[in-house]
Amino acid sequence: MDLHHRQTLQQLDAAHHLHPFNDNAALAKKGTRILTKGEGVYVWDAEGNQLLDAFAGLWCVNVGYGRKELGAVAAKQMEQLAYYNSFFSCTTEPTVQLSAKLAELTPGDLNHAFFTNSGSEANDTILRLVRHFWAVQDQPMKNIIIGRHNGYHGSTVAGASLGGMKGMHKQGGLPIPDIHHIDPPFWFSDGGDLSPEEYGLVAARRLEDKILELGPERVAAFIGEPIMGAIGVWIPPMSYWPEIERICRKYDVLLIADEVICGFGRTGEWFGQQYFGFQADIMPIAKGLSSGYIPIGAVMFNDRVAGVLKEKGGELAHGYTYSGHPVCAAVALENIRILQDEKIVETCKNDTAPYLAKKWAQLGEHPLVGEARIVGMVGALELVPAKPARTNFEDRGKVGVTCRDHALNQGLILRATYDSMLLSPPLVISKAQIDEMAEKAWKALDLTARELGMA
């Protein structure tokens, strides 16, 4: 793209486009980066730079960029029937086929799909329908949902309330009533002298304490991400989720696993629950469902919850114009076909993810890295002022941004959350591309350390 055109776009963007999760005044001064093309694990910007996207867009481009089949099914469906709703006792073939496919693919008896446009809307749907589930069983007071501090469940009113991001709560008077939060399981900063497995149990039992404090007759559900993504890929010890599941069963609290990031192969299993060994009653999904090619999300409900909603729920006073959109459903189906036919999840689990884990551990040897954590194709490097202590920089976030910018200058996209460098590449990343990522990340770490006067 020529310089003049790029600058014109940047000026128009600064004048007319408010960017999500950005300081828009600062961004307008700096100018946005305009992305123009994607192929495999690479994207290109308007200056012609080729970047290895080790963050898969926003944790979502699981099959990689540029898959023509996805465009082809979208075009075909648009020509045949671009839209119809699922309100007026109607449906379309892709919507039905996708519901059945998801019932087959998802773990346990999560056999019933409610379609949304995003992960946030999936969590709004959950808030309303979970409360409805208990109300129609004569337990309207069982309406509290417990989430976790620093959890992320989206940016709508319910999503941001269920999440535990303080900065988000500050804007708009959140959380809404009857949502509570417990401390998350993050051994690195909270585990003290306990082993990770011991700590996992301690962290899970915070849920039991909270349920007893509020009264089990008040607690409708618990929601958590199998791996806490947005806050910095906080991976719980293996003891955590089975204990959470035991506690939920004991007090008849519905268990919601937010698989918006973990779903569709991110952990090397199809769903995060399969990696951690537990079974949810309700599961929001989005992102990898369509590999980000088109907006679509869903909530999967198990037989018990869907059964009550169907038998006792009366008219479901909830839904979106685009719930089950036929074009989005067709793209999601084709995306799942690609993941299955090309054995992309299995290849990750057995071949590329173990290779990536080795490379990631090597990056963990860098003097700036206090912990290199990873599961499947999602990981983080925790940048620290000194090893081996598990402490953060005082001015949190500065070093992370420096390192992210050095990575970008090397042609590598990593995300920085505070001082965690986050990795979540397309699942199709090859071993050679993993090598390229690791080399560039090491260089970025070196340059950051030099800037800090550490090297």
Q: Which residues bind ligand PMP (CB under 6 A)?
A: 118-120, 152-154, 225, 229-230, 258, 260-261, 286, 297
Half-sphere exposure for 273 (CA within 13 Å, toward CB): 24
**Smallest separation, CB 216 to ligand PMP (Å):** 26
Query: Which of 150/392 has CB closer to ligand PMP?
Result: 150
Q: Of all residues in this chain, which one has the CB nearest to ligand PMP in the complex?
A: 119
Alpha helices by DSSP H, 18-156: 24-30, 56-59, 68-81, 93-105, 119-135
Cβ 297 to ligand PMP shortest distance, Å: 6
Torsion from C-alpha of 23, 27, 29, 35, nearest 10 degrees = -170
> Looking at beta carbons only, is 229 or 370 nearer to ligand PMP?
229
Quote the least distance from Cβ 269 to ligand PMP, whole Å.
Answer: 16
How far apart are CB 267 and ligand PMP at their closest, in Å?
A: 13
Closest CB 423 distance from ligand PMP, rounded Å:
15
Q: Express the helix, strand and coil content of the chain in percent, nearest 5 each.
A: 45, 15, 40
Backbone phi, then psi, for 94, in 5-degree steps? -60, -35
230 vs 445, beta carbon nearer ligand PMP: 230
Q: Are 275 and 375 in contact (CB under 8 A)?
A: yes
Q: Which SS3 state, helix, strand or coil, does residue 302 take? A: strand
Q: Least Å distance between CB 164 and ligand PMP? A: 12
Residues linked to residue 228 through DSSP beta bridges, in sequence order: 234
Decide whether 223 or 384 has the Cβ nearer to ligand PMP: 223
Smallest distance, ligand PMP to C-beta of residue 52, A: 21
Token pair belonging to 402: 């420096």
CB of 449 to ligand PMP, least distance (A): 30
Local structure of residue 234 (DSSP, 8 states): B
CB of 60 to ligand PMP, least distance (A): 8
Token pair of 60 as six digits: 């979502």
Smallest distance, ligand PMP to C-beta of residue 25, A: 23
Closest CA to 279 of 257, 296, 307, 304: 257
For ligand PMP, the closer of residues 32 and 417 by Cβ is 417
Query: How far is residue 38's CA from residue 44's CA, in Å, rounded to a whole number?
Result: 6
Q: Which one, 202 or 276, has the nearer CB to ligand PMP? A: 276
SS3 192: coil
What b/e readout covers 83-101, taking b as 16+ CB neighbours within 10 angstroms? eebbeeeeebebbeebbeb
**d(C-alpha 362, C-alpha 212), whole Å:** 44
Specify which residues 180 forms β-bridges with. Answer: 146
**Number of H-type helices and E-type strands within the chain:** 18, 15
Would you call 358 exposed, middle or buried from its count of C-beta atoms within 10 A (0-12, 13-18, 19+)?
Answer: exposed
The closest alpha carbon to 445, from 376, 388, 362, belongs to: 362
For ligand PMP, the closer of residues 153 and 359 by Cβ is 153
